[in-house]
Amino acid sequence: MAEVVKMPKMSDTMTEGVMAKWHKKVGDKVKSGDVLAEVETDKATMDLESYWDGTMLYIGVEEGKAVPVDAVIAVIGKEGEDYKAALDAEGTAAPAAAAEAPAKEDEEEAKEAPAAKGAALTDADLEKMGVTVVRMPLLSDTMTEGVIAEWHKKVGDQVKDDDILADVETDKATMEVMGYASGTLLHIGVEKGAAAKVNGIIAIVGPEGTDISGILSQGDAPAKPAADAATAAPVKEAAVAEEPAEAAHTSTDGSRLKASPLAKRIAKEKGIDLSQVAGSADGGRIIKKDIENFKPAAAPAKAEASAATEKATPSIPAFIGEEKYTEKPVTQMRKVIAKRLSESLFTAPHFYLTMSIDMDGAIAARAKINEFSPVKISFNDMVLKAVAVALKQHPNVNSSWLGDKIRYNEHVNIGVAVAVEDGLLVPVVRFADGKSLSHISAEVKDFAQRAKAKKLQPADWEGSTFTISNLGMFGIDEFTAIINPPDACILAIGGISQVPVVKNGAVVPGNVMKVTLSCDHRVVDGATGSAFLQTLKSLLEEPVRLLV
């Protein structure tokens, strides 16, 4: 009998897995224990093993695709066996079968559908017709609609690709809209003074006599009036006030210069005065090639003499940069980090307690300990051990919110945040209060190496009762961290800074480390968190207490 392979739940937080790589293909022989595929979870990339012998009959997920936990991903059985019954039993139909045999209801619906419904025109259809649909462009980052302030063309006029069709009033200024098409203006969809949503049809350009009824039948909702006549009149004047740069585009006799938006932008970048440029387009309008071919005339001698007597104005060279970016799909790990920490921050009421700790004693103790320890002890190891001892004295901090009850943990399992390429992993040092500093150090180093190699297993990161996050090695003095559910607290550790401190009434050099405790106020109150930090402070300032 064919066996259905489902996406397993490989961690306590996993809701879906990405099929990173298949090691078997349909028709391959499979033995129990063979690796079928590699699955990317929210924490690591793990091997998916087979528990059956047989032949790979069906693969339901392509590489790179995400699959929910418990979804069918493959079928294993005897060679030539009909696997469709197994899929049907799981409520899943093979994609190929679904593609080859559409439901009768769909066929009937397709037959009965009106011709107009299936005759929607595509961009390719419009291109064949020589028709260009002019839509309301997005002229600013906050724009949702634009008001037609003025039409420069009317239906039936001939249009060139660099002609200005209309002036559009946005939420920030009045700007020109070009058609970028040649032909006859067949349709104006928005009257002067009316508004159109961004991407709504405002005009259609194409060969004279073209039937555009099909285009209009699949168009946008009718435009709505933007304002009544009383308020619409002063639009142009207000626009001039909002965008003084446009006012500068006038000739010496005060008349308005005609220039395409691209020509204006290039002229501004090159520092060219548009009033000195002769336009070659219709009506003397300035276009791109006019700016590129422009050669400034020599200034009159009188102007040169006058300029020589004045203080030279500093010249700011134009700098033209390129805006570019790269987008990458969100990994499973990053998806879960975003989901869990968003839920934590916006569900658990966080509050923060910061304390400065004198680390002179810890520095001296660490130097002495490392003379005898089989592994090098770090300050992070000492903090972890001190946190473990303090948690045994303050069980309220070593707890979890469970909705209708609070769990007070008697064991101490400390999660240690480790940065990896795709995000963050939190392996757990279990029963940390009973382990020596050298044991803790060796375990943390092993976790860090396996985390970066993506070799951690679910048992390595599950079951924490408290979390620490240390950014001191990156030069961070102090920071706040988001609680890692289901823990009630997380401790953010800054670096050790050399600062002046007062000891015995005198200012002397000191080594101070700041720590910040993020607390879930549903479980931990201010006094409880403060008492925990006081205990932690005393343990680190007198490290010999860690050995008692």
Contact criterion met (CB below 8 Å) for 37 and 46: no
Provide DSSP, 105-127.
Answer: HHHHHHHHS-HHHHTPPPHHHHH
* 521 tagged catalytic: yes
Pairing of strands 489-503, 466-470: parallel
Question: What 3 state SS string does 388-449 have?
Answer: HHHHHHCCCCCEEECCCCEEECCCCCEEECEEECCEEECCEECCHHHCCHHHHHHHHHHHHH
Contact criterion met (CB below 8 Å) for 395 and 408: yes
User: Look-up: residue for tokens 């002019």?
Assistant: 134
> Any idea what DSSP says for residue 83?
-
* 187 tagged catalytic: no
Which of 47, 161, 446, 525 does the annotation list as catalytic? 525
Separation of alpha carbons 155 and 165, rounded Å? 11
Q: How far is CA 113 from CA 117, 255, 475, in A?
A: 7, 58, 67
> Any idea what DSSP says for residue 79?
T
* Helix (H) / strand (E) containing 55: strand 54-59
> Any idea what DSSP says for residue 238?
H
Contact criterion met (CB below 8 Å) for 332 and 18: yes
Across the strands, what pairs with 37? 22, 48
User: Number of H helices and number of E strands within the chain?
Assistant: 18, 27
Q: In degrees, to the nearest 5, what angle opens at C-alpha 502 toward C-alphas 533 and 539?
A: 30
Which tokens sit at 190? 């928005």
Which of 23, 411, 439, 521 does the annotation list as catalytic? 521
> Of 518, 519, 515, which is closest to residue 535 (Cα–Cα)?
515
Separation of alpha carbons 100 and 217, rounded Å? 33
Separation of alpha carbons 292 and 251, rounded Å? 19
* Helix (H) / strand (E) containing 76: strand 72-77
Q: Strands, E, within 115-266: which ranges?
A: 132-135, 145-151, 158-159, 164-169, 174-178, 183-188, 194-197, 201-206, 224-225
Provide DSSP, 484-538.
Answer: -TTBSEEEEEEEEEEEEEEETTEEEEEEEEEEEEEEETTT--HHHHHHHHHHHHH
> Of 527, 515, 485, which is closest to residue 348 (Cα–Cα)?
485
Across the strands, what pairs with 167? 150, 176
Annotated catalytic residues are 521, 525
